Structure 1
Amino acid sequence: MTRWMDEEAGPVVRPYALVGGRTRSSGDALDLVALVTATGTTPSGGFVPGPEQERILALVTTATSVADVASEIGLPLGVVRVLLGDLQDHGLISIGRASASERILKEVINGLRAL
């Protein structure tokens, strides 16, 4: 039997296998610009974060957007939302809203009009 291999990453695994085939979680409603921050708490209830979730936790020591998390770890957004939902359900991350001041929004609108 031939195994698909990536010389740097090892065996190639389909992204949905990382989340046990699930396509929905509490992370489904996460906005792309929502800010994710690790809470620094330890997992409880027997939950053990997987390698991808450990990478996420290491990445979000400072507030990072959902889109940036997906881009940085190289996984599809749907998979990242499921992983984030699991981490949120276990209290390992907090989700905040990105705040944009009115001045910044006006500058963006004026810049778009100038195009």
Structure 2
Amino acid sequence: MPGARDGMWLDDEAGRLVRPYTVSNGRTRPSAHFDLLTMVMATGSQPENYLGPDHAQVLELCDDPMSVAELSAHVRLPAVVTKVLLSDLVDCGAVTTKAPRTVAAVPNDMNILEAVLHGLRKRL
């Protein structure tokens, strides 16, 4: 059963009544770069203008650091739509992001690949 904040946007049998890309006004590209592992957290600053119920839901979930992938799962929207919502929140200063740490190793470093292969052979 839908919660009070979901109101008329959810139906028990049909699910979400608003199409995902309607939420992002048809936009499919966020104004900021997000990886699925990018961590997002609310800054405590509220947007000057009300952006919509989906923005509010995402902002509420960002009280604790959460990855874009987790947020997308919680709001039940495609990742690209979630990224567009997040970029709106970044643009108005309501959330901050932290990119995932990158691995210093070269992706095709033969020593690493051989070590992984050796480890896999030991397990099999």
d(CA) in 2 for partners of 1:25 and 1:14?
Answer: 18
Q: TM-score with structure 2 length normalisation? A: 0.69
CA distance in 2 between counterparts of 1:99 and 1:13 reads 35
Structure 2 segments unaligned to the other structure (5+ residues): 1-9, 105-111
Unaligned runs of 5+ in 1: none
| RMSD of Structure 2 on Structure 1 (CA) | 2.9
Residue in 2 aligned with 1:64? 66
**How far does residue 13 in structure 1 lie from its aligned partner after superposition?**
1.4
Deviation at 1:73? 1.0
The structure showing larger relative contact order (alpha-carbon pairs under 8 Å, at least 6 residues apart) is 1
1:43 to 44, 47, 52: 47
Q: How far does the alpha carbon of each residue in 1:72-94 deviate from its partner, in whole angstroms, 9 at most, with x for none?
A: 11100111010000000000000
Cα deviation 1:61-106 (Å, max 9, x = unaligned): 111000000011110011101000000000000001234898xxx9
1:70 match: secondary structure: helix
Choose which of 94, 101, 108 in structure 1 pairs with 2:96.
94
Number of residue pairs matched by the alignment:
103
Once the two structures are superposed, the pairs formed by residues 7-86 of structure 1 within 5 Å of their partners are 7=12, 12-27=17-32, 29-44=33-48, 47-86=49-88
Paired residue type of 2:21: Y
2-structure distance, mates of 1:24, 1:15 = 14
Read off the aligned partner of 1:31 and give its amino acid letter: D
Tell me the SS of whatever aligns to 1:95.
Answer: strand
In structure 2, distance between residues paired with 1:70 and 1:54:
14
